[in-house]
Structure 1
Amino acid sequence: MTDTVFDAAELAAVVDEREADITGRSKRIWLVRDDLCVVKLIPSLRSFTYDRDELVDETGPLRLDFYEKAAARLSAAGVECAFRTRLGPDSYLADYRPPPPFEVIVKNVATGSTTRKYPGLFQEGEPLPRPVVKFDFRVDPEDQPIGEDYLRVLDLPVEEMRSQALIVNDVLRKWLDPLVLWDFCVIFGFSADGRISLISEVSQDCMRLRHPDGSSLDKDLFRTGASTDELIAGWKRAFDEL
């Protein structure tokens, strides 16, 4: 297998031939080379705050529809993305970068953990005067905010991660307009030579996205008790605006 030519059928078959090497909250990963993997999305929806955890089959392909388009936009803007090519409705080929147990969150609007953890500082839905970047330690049952100096002690390039997250924010906001991107989370990995790469999925499963009329087009529908049909309709509605 070379760096530029892949047998899509052969790669897609890996999913059926053996157990995944890595199983996470929302995806399974098969390593096909030290730096290459096949990813299959798990159609899981999870909310710690609202104590809701379900499988909704239709969300897998919708997530990948969104991610495929977002990765193309981000790559064109110079953001290195792990995504390579789609292999099936809910599977794709990606560069493999070992994920650190930290995620980067960008908030354009005060919502979610901002108003829940810091009551009284901001009003729910209040636009922030500039994007806020924060880091969370990924741990069950709920991710926890972590001070940046802890990341520096671990020799992680905090400023580069912050800069890349803000570039991702700019690209997504321009692409999604007139939809309003309230916030999102991403995970960065690093190649053997130290290059930073966006390794996480970019979809409505990991962001808050609002229609100009204020209605939710993301996982908040699930968090607040929407039915499966309402959730799928909301996610599909986002594509009508793009």
Structure 2
Amino acid sequence: MKTQADERILGIRHERAPDIEGRSKKLWLLDGGLCLVELVPTLRSFTYARDEVVTETGPLRLDFYERAAARLGRNGVRTAFVRRLAPTSYLAEYHPAPPFEVVVKNRAVGSTLRKYPGLFEAEQVLPAPVVKFDYRTDPEDQPIAESYLRALKLPVDELSRLALVVNDTLTAWLSPVELWDFCLIFGLTPEGEPVLISEVSQDCMRLRHPDGSALDKDLFRGGATHTEITTAWRKLFDELG
């Protein structure tokens, strides 16, 4: 049940424009280092030139993220998520987003095949999880050498460690669904502590059901209808422990 305080926070959406607006979310800055986040139910694929609003994915993304954040917190990964306020809105800590993301690959898929052709077989299980950093830029993110990040005094080793903790946590939780890859964005507190500020959902990972079917944005990349996408995403959530 929403409190009066929550209702006042949600009312900000109608009182002023977002302070930050991206492709997949809107953000209103609040007092006390917090922010209101509203998910925008868009799905976008640069590679497949597809960009659409898929309304029902918004609540499904937040369903997943809410439960993932709780599990990650228990395993020592600090997330920005504070509490859910509405089907597609939540209260979060605010930490500025850096211009790079952390990607974990458990299989050779996506950018691994495009950028390093011939290095691995398609969908090959990698000998160990690969952690890489991508510079976030339109129209497509680009790999960035860790040395650049170290030159900026960023905690590269700790970010890599946390990314692998996220990988272990999600892999155990989602099993027997397979986690093929995912991306994360970490902000930093004034003291330099990393905080996972990006949502963790089907929109930022590749997942495969034991029957081989996709349960993530690959459905969208492959031309699935909106109903097919939301049915698969709901199937994933319904089967989670």
Q: Tell me if both proteins adopt one fold, taking TM over 0.5 as the criterion.
A: yes
- The amino acid that maps onto 2:159 is M
> Which of residues 77, 80, 83 in structure 2 aligns to 1:82?
80
Confirm whether residue 232 of structure 1 aligns to residue 240 of structure 2. Answer: no
Post-superposition shift, 1:125?
1.1
Instruction: Give the TM-score taking structure 2 as reference length.
Output: 0.97
**Counterpart for residue 122 of structure 1:** 120
Post-superposition shift, 1:6?
8.4
Q: Which runs of 5+ in 2 are unaligned?
A: none
CA distance in structure 1 between the partners assigned to 2:74 and 2:116 by the alignment: 37
CA distance in structure 1 between the partners assigned to 2:163 and 2:179 by the alignment: 14
> Which of residues 44, 47, 55 in structure 1 aligns to 2:45?
47
Correspondences of 1:65-104 after superposition (within 5 Å): 65-104=63-102
Confirm whether residue 138 of structure 1 aligns to residue 136 of structure 2. Answer: yes
Q: What's the secondary structure of 2:210's corresponding residue?
A: coil
CA distance in structure 1 between the partners assigned to 2:143 and 2:122 by the alignment: 19
Q: What's the secondary structure of 1:155's corresponding residue?
A: coil
CA distance in structure 2 between the partners assigned to 1:161 and 1:200 by the alignment: 14
Correspondences of 1:1-242 after superposition (within 5 Å): 7-33=5-31, 35-242=33-240
CA distance in structure 1 between the partners assigned to 2:183 and 2:148 by the alignment: 19
Post-superposition shift, 1:240?
2.8
CA distance in structure 2 between the partners assigned to 1:81 and 1:59 by the alignment: 21
Q: What's the secondary structure of 1:7's corresponding residue?
A: helix
CA distance in structure 1 between the partners assigned to 2:168 and 2:211 by the alignment: 22
Q: What's the secondary structure of 1:184's corresponding residue?
A: strand
Instruction: Give the TM-score taking structure 1 as reference length.
Output: 0.96
Q: Which runs of 5+ in 1 are unaligned?
A: none
Post-superposition shift, 1:33?
1.8
CA distance in structure 2 between the partners assigned to 1:194 and 1:35 by the alignment: 15
Residues paired across the two proteins, number: 238
Post-superposition shift, 1:152?
0.7
Output one character per residue of 1:74-102: Cα deviation in whole Å (capped at 9) or x when no partner.
01111101000001000000000001010
Q: What's the secondary structure of 1:218's corresponding residue?
A: coil
CA distance in structure 1 between the partners assigned to 2:36 and 2:115 by the alignment: 37
Q: What's the secondary structure of 1:214's corresponding residue?
A: coil
Alpha carbons 1:178, 1:241 under 8 Å: kept = no
Post-superposition shift, 1:181?
0.3
Alpha carbons 1:209, 1:217 under 8 Å: kept = yes
Output one character per residue of 1:130-159: Cα deviation in whole Å (capped at 9) or x when no partner.
100000000011001111001111111100
CA distance in structure 2 between the partners assigned to 1:213 and 1:118 by the alignment: 28
Runs of at least 4 residues of structure 1 off by over 2 A? none
Identity of aligned residues (%): 63
Post-superposition shift, 1:34?
5.4
Output one character per residue of 1:169-195: Cα deviation in whole Å (capped at 9) or x when no partner.
000000001100000000000111211
Post-superposition shift, 1:241?
2.1
- The amino acid that maps onto 1:145 is P
CA distance in structure 1 between the partners assigned to 2:32 and 2:48 by the alignment: 38
Post-superposition shift, 1:208?
0.2
95 and 6 in structure 1: CA distance in 2 versus 1, 3 angstrom threshold: farther
Calculate the aligned-residue CA RMSD, in Å. Answer: 1.1
